[in-house]
Amino acid sequence: MEDEHKREWVEAMQDEMNSLYENNTFELVKLPKGKRALKNKWVYKMSSIRVILGLAASLDLEVEQMDVKTAFLHGDLDKEIYMEQPEGFRVKGKEDYVCKLQKSLYGLKQAPRQWYKKFESVMGKQGYRKTISDHCVFFQRFGDDDFIILLLYVDDMLIVGKNAERIVQLKKELSKSFSMKDLGPAKQILGIRITRDRASKKLHMSQEQYIEKVLSRFNMAKAKAVSSPLTPNFKLTDKDCPSSKEEIEDMDKVPYASAVGSLMYAMVCTRPDIAHAVGVVSRFLSNPGKKHWEAVKWIFRYLRGSSKLGITFGNGKPMLVGYTDSDLAGNKDNMKSTSGYLMTFAGGAVSWQSRLQKYVALSTTEAEYVAATEACKELLWLKRLMQELGFMQQRYVVLCDNQSAIHLAKNSMFHKRTKHIDVKYHWIRDALEDKS
């Protein structure tokens, strides 16, 4: 291993091996006949989260964070699996032995599932139940205003509740079953910075540090800022894709897919304002052209001037409200329209989407109707999640700016102008009639 940080890498590898031994992950055995040993290599290593954080802000709840050390090693195996000894850590005198796995290990296809089953079992014994809407949200109510919500994201977890003593007790119980690291009040999770103003009941989520790293990585740290993520001047189509061998070779040198992937992570976590722009440039991942790359750099320039922006909860009432909109034939390659929706809770965005519709809409009304249906489906899921956690509101509203689409959703009578609309989109009519 040749690297300026060789010592740190070796220490990290030794620490990982110690975790494997402490967890009784494997035992050294002779490889049985007919069995094959797995190779191994060193691997140097979201709407529910936003809803719960919005709830924490509006109700002034405690938000604690914990990390599970070597999470996937806690899962129990129900199959016989063998693995070669890790390079550099072969036991003297037993070089020809292999590791018989007794517990799950990173890289195994069973690892995530086995870890979750183990965690679910431990939480069940503590009286917690997983929600049907999101199996990674665990909940237990002790009284009217006394409850705890736990969110699990692989090996990161947030524990939310009003009673600090109950949270401490849950931490202790979890530490008995797993090797845990208590990170105290949540400050950062999944690269998202969390800051709170308890006095004004506000919570802010941002990815400033991540965005700054991305801008530096793609040499856009000193780029001139612009005020919008994408302008009407960028009419991107397949005609802008390279066609000659020379053009394709030139674009192969451009980190287009990597740049779009980096933008997508920011968009998914805290930046709904770039959802449409990222959606447009991601259509050309297989064969991007220079004009497409210019659009990606334009989004970077927008982020250059808005890296501090994020999502703030606590400015509004703890109520779910939806907004929906659509263009008409915005994609000039196939003339499909784009649906968009945004769901807010406690003043902050909790869910959003910008996506091409499945088929070509023949009118603005049809495009808006399809978009409204998709928005209602998302709001219904959020409604069920909140109800499972014991929170109700008098009515749930999706705001649409097209009167014809609204009338179409409320009127279930057959009409020759709408008979061609896919049956599945008429689901919205049943949803509006269902008052539960």
Greater model confidence, 32 or 327: 327
| Residues 422-433: b if buried by 16+ CB within 10 A, e if exposed | eeebeebeeeee
Query: What are φ and ψ of residue 186, in 5° steps?
Result: -60, 125
Confidence category of residue 100, pLDDT binned at 50, 70, 90: confident
Q: What is the mean pLDDT of the chain?
A: 86
Task: Judge whether residue 38 has pLDDT over 50.
Answer: no
Position 416 scores a pLDDT of: 61
* CA separation for the pair 365, 371 (Å, rounded): 10
Position 101 scores a pLDDT of: 75
Task: Judge whether residue 96 has pLDDT over 60.
Answer: yes
- State in Å, rounded, how far the first CA of the chain is from the last one: 62
Confidence category of residue 44, pLDDT binned at 50, 70, 90: very low
Cβ–Cβ < 8 Å for 383, 397: no
Give the tens place of pLDDT for each residue, 381-425: 999 999 999 999 999 999 999 998 888 888 766 566 666 676 666
Number of residues written out for the chain: 436
CATH class of domain segment(s) 315-433: alpha beta
User: If 0-12 CB within 10 Å is exposed, 13-18 middle and 19+ buried, where does residue 420 land?
Assistant: exposed
Q: Angle at Cα 412 formed by Cα 409 and Cα 413, nearest 5°?
A: 130
Of 215, 232, 219, 201, the closest CA to residue 308 belongs to 215
Give the tens place of pLDDT for each residue, 144-179: 889 999 999 888 899 999 999 999 999 999 999 888
Q: What is the CATH number of domain 40-201?
A: 3.30.70
The secondary structure element, H or E, covering residue 108 is none
Cβ–Cβ < 8 Å for 254, 269: no
Position 348 scores a pLDDT of: 97
Give the tens place of pLDDT for each residue, 200-220: 999 999 999 999 999 999 999
Mean pLDDT of 243-257: 93
Mean pLDDT of 97-125: 79
**What are the sequence ranges of the domains in the chain?**
40-201, 206-305, 315-433
Within the chain, what is the greatest distance between any pair of CA atoms? 82
Give the tens place of pLDDT for each residue, 175-193: 998 888 999 999 999 889 9
Give the tens place of pLDDT for each residue, 46-57: 899 999 999 999
If phi > 0 it is left, if psi is from -120 to 50 it is alpha, else beta; for residue 119 that is alpha
106-115, 151-160, 269-278 — most confident range: 269-278
Neighbours of 406 (CB within 10 A): 18
Mean pLDDT of 120-137: 94
Cβ–Cβ < 8 Å for 66, 174: yes
Task: Judge whether residue 5 has pLDDT over 60.
Answer: no
Task: Judge whether residue 43 has pLDDT over 50.
Answer: no
